Amino acid sequence: MKNSDASSAVPRGRPIREARRPSRQSSDAGGGGCRLGSRCRLSGNLVSKESIEIEGRFEGDLKADGQHVVVGETARVEATIEAASVAVKGYMRGTVVGRKRASLARTANMVGKLATVEIRVEEGAIFRGQVDYLGPSMNEG
C-alpha cells in the first residue's frame, strides 16, 4: 500500500486523537472509576463507591468513602471533598478531608481547609488556608 492510499483513508480537517487511558491513581483496585471531563460542569452532591477524577468544573459536596479523588490540573472545584485519599493538582476552593492522606501537586492552587493524617506538598504548590491533623481517634468511623 502506498503512503498516499493510507493517508486518504483519514478524513481531512479533523485531527486524530488517541484514546486516553485512565491513570492508575484515578481508578480503584477493581479497575473502575468515574471521570468528570474537562468540558463538563457539575453542581450538586455526589456520592461514589468508586474513585473519581475531576478535570472539569464541580461545585457542591463529594463523598467517596474508602476511595481516591483527584482534582486534575484543568479542574476548577469549589466543594467539600471527603475520601480515603485526595490529590489536588488544579484549582480547589473549599474543604478537603483525606481520611488516610492528601497531596498537593506542584500545579495545585488550593484555598480552604485540609484535614488528613498524612500530607504531601510538592514544591511550587500554592496553599492558603488551614491544615488539621486527623489523629487515630478522629480517623475512625
35-90 per-position pLDDT tens digit: 999 999 999 999 999 999 999 999 999 999 889 999 999 999 999 999 999 999 99
Residue 110 sits at the vertex; the CA angle it makes with 104 and 112, to the nearest 5 degrees, is 120
CB 123 within 8 A of CB 140: no
* 133 vs 64: CA distance, rounded Å: 20
- Say what the pLDDT of residue 135 is: 81
Range 106-124 average pLDDT: 97
Take residue 56 and report the three cell numbers written for it: 472539569
The residue type of 28 is D
Take residue 95 and report the three cell numbers written for it: 474543604
Residue 76 sits at the vertex; the CA angle it makes with 73 and 82, to the nearest 5 degrees, is 90
- Say what the pLDDT of residue 13 is: 52
